Structure 1
Amino acid sequence: MNNRIIIIGGLSAGPSAAAKARREDEFADIKLFEKTADISYATCGIPYALSGHIASREKLLVTDVEMLRKRFKIDVHTIEEVTDIDIDNKTVITPIGEYPYDKLVFTTGAKTFVPPITNLEKATNWSACRSLGDFDHIMKDGLVDSVNHITVMGAGLIGVEVAENLINVGKKVTIIEGGATVLPMWQPKFSAFAQNVLEDKGIEIIKNTFVKNVIVEGEKIKQIDLGNGKFLDTEFVVMSVGIKPNTELLLKKGAAAIGNGALIVNQNMETSLPGIYAAGDNVSIENLITHQADYLPLGTHSNKGGRAAGFNSVGGNEKLFGGYKTAIIQLFDYTLARTGLGPRDLEKAGINYKKTLIVAGSTPSYYPNPQDITVEVFYEDSDFTILGAEVFGQVGVDKRVDVLSTAIYAKLKITDLPQLDLAYAPPYSPAKDPVLVAGYVAENVINRGCSPLSVEELHQLISENEEMYIIDVRNPSERANGQFIESSINIPLEDLRENLHKIPIDKPVILHCARGMRGYIAAKILAQHGFKNINNLAGGFKIWKEYVRQYPMVFSEVL
């Protein structure tokens, strides 16, 4: 008898599983069930289709039913929802019939989480942004001339992408976020960089606000209750506060899952239930750094997991080892990216770490239109193994984060980075690529060089009125128009040696320049002249200026 494979879910992982299963077993009986009329479309592309950057709805369709039927000989059942699974008798049940299987691949994805908001059920002018049906709703009722202001609830990846594209078609946009930062996958400092860009492009951002009530008139949301007597006028709402795995069918059968309901699978994508595989946004996979089950709902893992589950359902042995939270997002002319673990996750995992932050050119300073890139790398305190990184800039962010992601997978040390043989030509990179520079700066610290001080640490020291001596080694012209840290003393680097007598030997000395290099040189000079307590501000005034836009100075009272 031919293998009987049933796949539940037709978005991303499901068609990937079906196609791989067919390539490996020409004679298997493969059925795919999808409860809607649409299969295999690019959910992640929907925000860009709202603005027309992706030209049409049809462009979102990765494949279609007829291709699966004719090219891959898949028995596709659309608009047929699986309502139950008899795991003892290996049968799936739909309103139309019952279908036996030998192996089941569960790829049901996730649904938008809609928080309990009073009166929301009375309104029609709101939508999630996760399906083609959502896309159709937003295009029909949101992106019309009569709608001027749209509110996006949630400042995660999809919410921010939606907001950007709505601005690009001329809408006024407000983002409401329940947490303290936008894009909370990133540490607060890099989230601040992102928020600065969004606000500069005209997006209003309201944080630390959980909406509990909306004002509805004639089935339309007219105002959003922000609490404390404040209301926001709006004409359409896009809901993007999070997602919830669609796993109820297997959870009630006893399938193992993590706290949010995402199924636990092994490296072969097998669930705890015999003969049942799962892949996509409804599963957890191993975090390759913490070695714990983690929820990483991204298209890369969905497609790779679907491929592995499909192959293994017909007798293969393909593995998906896991992931480590690599992500990237476009922010108008900028890009923000990350990989591995950031400070919050490292501290939660109890991992001792160091960090190095650099600001460097993405291309040589002599090449037209040079742009800076900011790279912060986190590495293990004792053996220097790279644990994570965050990257921000206008040019070359994707290249650098992928290099660092590969370094994490290979378990490279930060001291290995300067040895990488990266591609070099002036249009693409300086002779010392920013990734290499991050390694050099870390080596400087490891080899008893100047200790870096983060902007977060300096912010706290100043706020607490700690005694210290802040020296700005930039040129006086760089301090024009208030472009300096309050209480800093200006001694240009070229004049430093002649002014050593002005610097207190008994106080902590904080040095800074524009980006970090001149501060480092100044620190080396002071150290060789007998100064002991020296720190160089990582990233210099450039990072400080961006950080304090979102975290203004608040001084402690001196009693």
Structure 2
Amino acid sequence: MKVIVVGCTHAGVTVVTEVLKHHPDAEVTVYERNDNVSFLSCGIALYLQDTVKRLEDMFYETPEHLTALGANVKTEYDVLKIDASKQQITIQNLKTRLISTDTYDRLVMTSGSAASVPPIHGVDSSKVLVCKNYHQALAIKKNAALSRQVTIVGAGYSGIELAEAYANTDHQVTLLQGDEQVLGNYIDPEMSARIVALLRQHGVTVHLSTPVTAFATKGPTDPVVIKTSKGDFNSDFVVVCTGFVPNTELVQGQVALDRNNAIITNEWLETSEPTIFAAGDACAAKFNPTDQPTFIPLATNAVQQGRIIARNLFGHVQRYPGTQATTALRLFAQTLATTGVTLKRALASGIAAASVTYRGPYRPLFMPQTSEVVIELVYAKTNHRILGAQFYGEYDLTQSANAVSISIQNKNTIEDLAFTDTLFNPFYDQPVNYLNQVAQMALDQEG
């Protein structure tokens, strides 16, 4: 079996290593346009605030090791064309500029995503940067060292993490968000208000409902003028964090794509062209809370899908179970963890949903110290199925988010969660665990 893998970050690395582990006789070739593989972009904020000293530590795999495993690794090669009818690709060596072709029995699209850059005037300024890959992170670090004022445009996970990083390095940080809340894909307005208050408490200037309309830069030593619907802002430099778009131009017109140009796959992660598979940020993932394919650019999804593809290249073995988009964020000594869909998005999807919010100490008051945790649980009113949850507090509730993620994947109900057997130890929780309590609140609400 001749397998070609296009792109080699999380999904691509996983496909290569898993295929060669279970099928060492397979002929696996990797084409990657960068000079590196496996960059963990989630560590960029840690590097920018000097928690991690070397950006190179964000790589967990090397071309040399993949080669030692048996892969034919072609870094700094750009795939120019894919011809699904001929099972052939056209590639260019970016060093020599030579163009050649290669053929495959199976092609795996793990081409990832790119930073979404809004089509507004001035966005191409040298002082307006995006944050996604290794080289972009180096550029941002260099600019920050020469700057006092930093403006972040966009308040998704990347924007929030960068705002914290620069607040921790004594920069003057402004965060501009186009709509009325932060982290809109992951939390509801009440939780957003908590995050905004925390950012402001640590010196970050946050402006919501403030879409950027243009950037203007007069000269190399002049600040960037950021034009918005609510007036102009000046900044030494700007980082745009307005989301990601799938890199799928190579297969447009050859496989089915959704309205966001993400590749649509079946339960085996095959595309509409059976010889082509797709994983990671290039494709839409089955989002279990809504049972709809959704573009969810998370490394966890990429790795899971990569493992499944490696099993299915040689026949249908493992179905893709879908995702809950479970995430966590450490922000100024507080933890935010989320799983599933928010109430706002559930209602927008046409689901008759409701939510309840638990607030209370995570462990008994007789302990020397405790702290408040906040849990919002989202569920369907019709069948009581659990749809999502949001956790916030100083205490680490990330594994509780994982527990609710399992409940969503298994289609459990608020009844199931209310009466799930959970441990009690006064060091860790209440006699009735907070997950049981928030589910019981949902039952009480439904009468």
After TM superposition, the score normalised by the length of structure 1 is 0.76
Supply the distance in 2 between the matched residues of 1:413 and 1:119 (Cα, whole angstroms): 50
Q: CA deviation at 1:285?
A: 1.5
Supply the distance in 2 between the matched residues of 1:227 and 1:288 (Cα, whole angstroms): 37
Aligned to 2:119: 116
**Correspondent of 1:133 among 115, 127, 135:** 135
Contact 1:223 1:231 in 2 (8 A): no
Unaligned runs of 5+ in 2: 93-98
Paired letter, 1:240 = C
Contact 1:105 1:310 in 2 (8 A): no
Supply the distance in 1 between the matched residues of 2:443 and 2:107 (Cα, whole angstroms): 51
Contact 1:152 1:175 in 2 (8 A): yes
Supply the distance in 1 between the matched residues of 2:438 and 2:293 (Cα, whole angstroms): 30
Supply the distance in 2 between the matched residues of 1:433 and 1:221 (Cα, whole angstroms): 56
Supply the distance in 2 between the matched residues of 1:293 and 1:274 (Cα, whole angstroms): 18
Supply the distance in 2 between the matched residues of 1:212 and 1:349 (Cα, whole angstroms): 29
Supply the distance in 2 between the matched residues of 1:273 and 1:404 (Cα, whole angstroms): 35
Is the counterpart of residue 405 in structure 1 residue 408 in structure 2? no
Change (3 A) 1:136 1:256: same
Change (3 A) 1:291 1:444: closer
Aligned to 2:418: 418
Q: Report sequence identity in percent.
A: 27
Q: CA deviation at 1:316?
A: 5.4
Comparing 294-303 with 378-387, greater Cα deviation is found at: 378-387
Comparing 356-365 with 7-16, greater Cα deviation is found at: 356-365
**Correspondent of 1:101 among 100, 104, 107:** 104
Paired letter, 2:51 = H
Give the secondary-structure state (helix, strand or coil) at the position aligned to 1:84: strand
Paired letter, 1:216 = T
Deviation digits for residues 114-152 of structure 1 (CA, Å, limit 9, x no counterpart): 11232332x21232111001111112222x1x3111111
Q: How many residues align?
A: 440
Aligned to 2:57: 59
Aligned to 1:243: 244
Is the counterpart of residue 76 in structure 1 residue 78 in structure 2? no
Supply the distance in 1 between the matched residues of 2:156 and 2:211 (Cα, whole angstroms): 14
Is the counterpart of residue 148 in structure 1 residue 148 in structure 2? yes
Paired letter, 2:248 = T
Aligned to 1:214: 215
User: What's the Cα RMSD here?
Assistant: 1.7
Supply the distance in 2 between the matched residues of 1:398 and 1:131 (Cα, whole angstroms): 26
Paired letter, 2:275 = G
Contact 2:286 2:323 in 1 (8 A): yes
Supply the distance in 1 between the matched residues of 2:220 and 2:118 (Cα, whole angstroms): 19
- Bigger RCO (CA 8 Å, 6+ sep): 2
Unaligned runs of 5+ in 1: 448-559
Paired letter, 2:318 = E
Give the secondary-structure state (helix, strand or coil) at the position aligned to 1:305: helix
Q: CA deviation at 1:76?
A: 0.4
Supply the distance in 2 between the matched residues of 1:259 and 1:417 (Cα, whole angstroms): 36
Aligned to 2:25: 27
Supply the distance in 2 between the matched residues of 1:228 and 1:101 (Cα, whole angstroms): 51
> Matches of residues 169-208 of structure 1 in structure 2 within 5 Å?
169-185=169-185, 186-208=187-209
Q: CA deviation at 1:277?
A: 0.4
Deviation digits for residues 266-288 of structure 1 (CA, Å, limit 9, x no counterpart): 12111112300010101002122
Contact 2:79 2:91 in 1 (8 A): yes
Q: CA deviation at 1:337?
A: 2.2
Supply the distance in 1 between the matched residues of 2:253 and 2:407 (Cα, whole angstroms): 40
Contact 1:326 1:405 in 2 (8 A): yes
After TM superposition, the score normalised by the length of structure 2 is 0.94
Comparing 53-62 with 7-16, greater Cα deviation is found at: 53-62
Contact 2:217 2:225 in 1 (8 A): no
Paired letter, 1:212 = T
Change (3 A) 1:227 1:418: closer
Change (3 A) 1:343 1:221: farther
Change (3 A) 1:179 1:229: closer
Contact 2:151 2:174 in 1 (8 A): yes
Aligned to 2:273: 273
